[in-house]
Amino acid sequence: MSVTSRPGPAPPGTHEMLPGAEPVRLLDAAGRWVGTGTPPDAGLRRELYRRMVLGRQFDRQATALGKQGALAVYPSSYGQEACQIGATMALRETDWLFPTYRDSVALVARGIDPFEVLTLMRGSWHCGYSVRRHRTAPQCTPLATQCPHAVGLAHAARLAGDDLVSLSFIGDGGTSEGDFHEACNFAAVHRVPTVFLVQNNQYAISVPLAAQTAAPTLAHKAIGYGMRAALVDGNDALAVYTTVTEAVERARAGGGPTLIEALTYRMNPHTSADDPTRYRSAEEVAVWSGRDPLDRLAAHLRAEGLLDDATAAAYTAEAEALAAGLRDRMRQPPALDPLELFDHVYAAPTPQLREQAAELAARLGRHAS
Amino acid sequence: MTPQLAMAQALNAALSDAMREDDRVLVYGEDVGPLGGVFRVTDGLAAAFGPQRCFDAPLAEAGIAGTAVGMAMYGLRPVIEMQFDAFAYPAFEQVVSHIAKLRNRTRGELTLPLVIRIPYGGGIGAVEHHSDASEAYYVHTPGLHVVAPATAQDAYSLLRAAIASDDPVVFLEPKRLYRHKGEVARERPAEPLGRAAVRRPGTSATLIAYGPAVPVALAAAEAAADTEGWDLEVVDLRTLVPFDDETVTASVRRTGRAVVVHEAAGFAGFGAEIAARVSQRCFHHLEAPVLRVTGLDLPYPPPLLEQHHLPDVPRVLEAVAALQWPETGSTS
Ligand SMILES: Cc1ncc(C[n+]2csc(CCOP(=O)(O)OP(=O)(O)O)c2C)c(N)n1
Ligand SMILES: [Mg+2]
């Protein structure tokens, strides 16, 4: 079971370990196709847009729930839909996704019930969806720690002869953590079928990218590991989808990992608890409002005759129904059983935990199971 | 008149006074610069002292702690912030292998006058990894001082003492007390580390607490006085290492009964050390075994269930009731 000497595409050349001078962009600001090849399939492009409309509305609803106090916290994806959905759609169902707290919209695009997605942020449990069914790890909060997990899982799948790829999301700030470095290095040395997708939304809470790295771009870090690099316009859904698809399929074919940096912007505060006026200007935010990823893809689809008013209205109606359903379910009190706290710490509770469960049950006027 | 400050403001005052008095003191971490920290403890410091003395490091706790070692070796007195308790773990290797040991490894030649500030504990309704009570890891590591204030005045005075200390200090700031106000006298002489305080004198039993558990113990003592007729003494440890055996022992010898209250899991928690010390030193004065009211032995619960984990007044009173009172007294 030798992993290093397996046949497959040649390792990357030095030029492939450096990003292009300009980010990959397939749609210009007005949504015109500026790519060299042919655009992805029409149905795919429409589906990307549909999921972005749903994701945007989900994010609006979750942000509102956060403001109303129905969620403990909500880190918004507003403005990052092209990154999260473009990347998610590049994966097969059998591939594995390793998301962060920022990536709730990716989870919705992955087909996870939006209500289950919000379990963590609502605070009724730490993860509300089936990790195995959706091949999606729990949303990860300790920065960069999901990256080695994604690498290990894909490595194990490779050893088992399984044909899958993992993708970890990470933020610009997270790339400064040691775990990111270690994950990249392992992945490159063992040519693990994994993709690192950095959503560079320009800030780590209040800290701008310039205080995070002196590298020309985050994608430049790839060459230090001997890994392929790509830099992509993260508000261009077609560019993200195409770039991630290439990386995922190359990894699947044995071509090793890729580090992709997607340039985007966090339009909302870091979370519902943050005050961004302390560290960024309204002018800067306004510039990025003019680069909205949904507007760009919509303009493209309309110009290509792939989106008409009726279809757009249908997507909007579907999104509103999703939000309304979510609101309704959030209005119900959460299903909470304090005694469940003892059930999952170990395969079987320790004698001490059994005692503590009995004490809590007594305090609650109940019998421990 | 002594001004009322919230604990976060008292900490801010301590940092700013220390930086003004000693230009070797510098503050860095994540979001501590222009933002002023996610809890606003470093608010205004970057503006007042400039980006050399208060700045945002690249986002990497191991790097933050490791560079603090180097800076301290070169004569600075760094005060670093970990954004939340559970986000201090990437720095653990630097803390355990270097910060705690450098003095010893060099037979006292290298001292590390640095402070690691850590917003600490739960009760703020936060999602996972934002509420850990992680003191056991630090108190179990010889070479580290560990401090946990419970009042605004102590936050000020003990942080000043921590910054003045030539040994490294892990400074645990109870998040849920950040907005609690109290009088803060800035001109008071620095409080030495290692002295507990009797917050409420009493005769029936001693409640021993620190950090966020102190207000819980005080509330329990008030409730006990009102409803049960117990007169409970409350000892606030303030400094976990060095541990003030003297104050704790004197109190328990007087009252003959003790309950330790802390938020961290009970199993192998700091309360176990306290209970063992009290049992050894006060054995012939004790009317009952030393009891502990602690967090459950679980990963910190999701916020909607955290109230079942955190020690509260009824649980403290339940423990007090179980202290083998004579038949005529209040028993449960
Ligand atoms: C190890 C660790 N340190 C600190 C934090 C606190 N924290 C949460 S989000 C964040 C900023 C992360 O920025 P970035 O990686 O750019 O992701 P973004 O939030 O912008 O999506 C910080 C410092 C954390 N979650 N984990
Ligand atoms: Mg970011």
Distances (CA, A) of A108 to A30, A53, B56, B146, B217: 27, 11, 34, 44, 45
Distance from CA of A164 to the nearest CA of B (A): 30
Residues A291 and A349 occupy one common structural domain: no
Could you say which of B139, B158, B183 is where a domain stops?
Answer: B183
Residues A227 and A359 occupy one common structural domain: no
Q: Which two tokens stand for residue B82?
A: 């970990």
Residues B157 and B228 occupy one common structural domain: no
Q: For residue A125, list chain B residues with Cβ-Cβ distance below 8 A.
A: 302
Could you say which of B183, B217, B241 is where a domain stops?
Answer: B183
How many domains are there within chain A?
2
Write the residue with the smallest CA distance to atom 26 of ligand 1: A142
Residue A347 falls inside a structural domain: yes
Rounded (10°) CA dihedral B84, B90, B91, B93: 150
Q: What is the pLDDT of residue A5?
A: 53
Catalytic residue among A102, A266, A296, A300: A266
Please list, in sequence order, all residues whose beta carbon lies within 8 angstroms of the beta carbon of residue A166, skipping any fewer than 6 positions away.
Answer: A95, A96, A97, A98, A150, A151, A153, A154, A157, A193, A194, A195
Q: B37: left (phi > 0), else alpha (psi -120 to 50), else beta? A: left
Please give the model's pTM, rounded to 2 decimal places: 0.97
Cα B148 to the center of its chain, rounded Å:
1
Q: What is the pLDDT of residues A129-162, one digit of tens each?
A: 999 999 999 999 999 999 999 999 999 999 999 9
Residue B214 falls inside a structural domain: yes
SS3 A104: helix
Question: Do A239 and A25 meet the contact criterion of CB atoms below 8 Å apart?
Answer: yes
Mutate to test the interface with B, among A102, A122, A143 (most CBs of B within 10 A): A143
Residue B97 falls inside a structural domain: yes
Residue A2 falls inside a structural domain: no
Residues A59 and A190 occupy one common structural domain: yes
Residue A1 falls inside a structural domain: no
Decide: A142 in ligand 1 pocket, CB within 6 A: yes
Residues A346 and A233 occupy one common structural domain: no
A241 is catalytic: no
Residues A198 and A125 occupy one common structural domain: yes
Is some CB atom of chain B closer than 8 A to the CB atom of A182?
no
Give distance in angstroms: CA of A254 to centre of ligand 2: 30
Look at residue A24 and tell me whether its pLDDT is greater than 70.
yes
Distances (CA, A) of A255 to A30, A184, A197, A273: 35, 15, 17, 42
Q: How many helices (H) and strands (E) does chain A have?
A: 14, 7
Look at residue A2 and tell me whether its pLDDT is greater than 50.
no
Residues A56 and A203 occupy one common structural domain: yes
Residues B203 and B317 occupy one common structural domain: yes
Contact A72 B31 (CB under 8 A): no
Does the ipTM surpass 0.90?
Answer: yes
Q: For residue A336, list chain B residues with Cβ-Cβ distance below 8 A.
A: 304-305
How many domains are there within chain B?
2
Is some CB atom of chain A closer than 8 A to the CB atom of B296?
yes
Mean pLDDT of A34-52: 97
Residues B179 and B205 occupy one common structural domain: no
- Positions in chain B whose pLDDT score sits under 50: 329, 331-332
Q: What is the pLDDT of residue A366?
A: 80
Residues A203 and A326 occupy one common structural domain: yes
Residues A51 and A133 occupy one common structural domain: yes
Decide: A255 in ligand 1 pocket, CB within 6 A: no
**CATH number of the structural domain spanning residue B164:** 3.40.50.970
Residues B142 and B177 occupy one common structural domain: yes
Domain coverage including residue A354: 337-369
Contact B89 A334 (CB under 8 A): no
Question: Do A323 and A59 meet the contact criterion of CB atoms below 8 Å apart?
Answer: no
Residues B167 and B203 occupy one common structural domain: no
Mean pLDDT of A194-202: 98
Q: What is the pLDDT of residue A8?
A: 65
Q: What is the pLDDT of residue B2?
A: 85
Q: What is the pLDDT of residues A302-312, one digit of tens each?
A: 999 999 999 99
Could you say which of B133, B153, B183 is where a domain stops?
Answer: B183
Residues B21 and B84 occupy one common structural domain: yes
Residue B84 falls inside a structural domain: yes
Side-chain-side CA neighbours of residue A199 (13 Å): 32
Is residue A197 within a helix (H) or strand (E), and if so which, with residue range? strand A194-200
Residues B45 and B109 occupy one common structural domain: yes
Q: For residue B134, list chain A residues with Cβ-Cβ distance below 8 A.
A: none
Distance from CA of B165 to the nearest CA of A (A): 29
Please list, in sequence order, all residues whose beta carbon lies within 8 angstroms of the beta carbon of residue B74, skipping any fewer than 6 positions away.
Answer: none
Q: Which of residues 220-279 of B touch A (CB under 8 A)?
A: 267
Q: How much is the mean pLDDT over chain A?
A: 96
Is some CB atom of chain B closer than 8 A to the CB atom of A341?
yes
Q: What is the pLDDT of residues A210-226, one digit of tens each?
A: 999 999 999 999 999 99
Q: What is the pLDDT of residues A266-319, one digit of tens each?
A: 999 999 889 999 999 999 999 999 999 999 999 999 999 999 999 999 999 999
Residue A198 falls inside a structural domain: yes
Q: What is the pLDDT of residue A369?
A: 56
Cis peptide upstream of residue B242 (ω within 30 degrees of 0): yes
Residues A240 and A361 occupy one common structural domain: no
Q: What is the pLDDT of residue A1?
A: 45
Residues B151 and B209 occupy one common structural domain: no
Q: For residue A342, list chain B residues with Cβ-Cβ distance below 8 A.
A: 296, 298
Decide: A206 in ligand 1 pocket, CB within 6 A: no
Domain coverage including residue B201: 197-328
Decide: A203 in ligand 1 pocket, CB within 6 A: yes
Residues B208 and B157 occupy one common structural domain: no
Determine the atom of ligand 1 nearest the C-alpha atom of B31: 23
**CATH number of the structural domain spanning residue B208:** 3.40.50.920
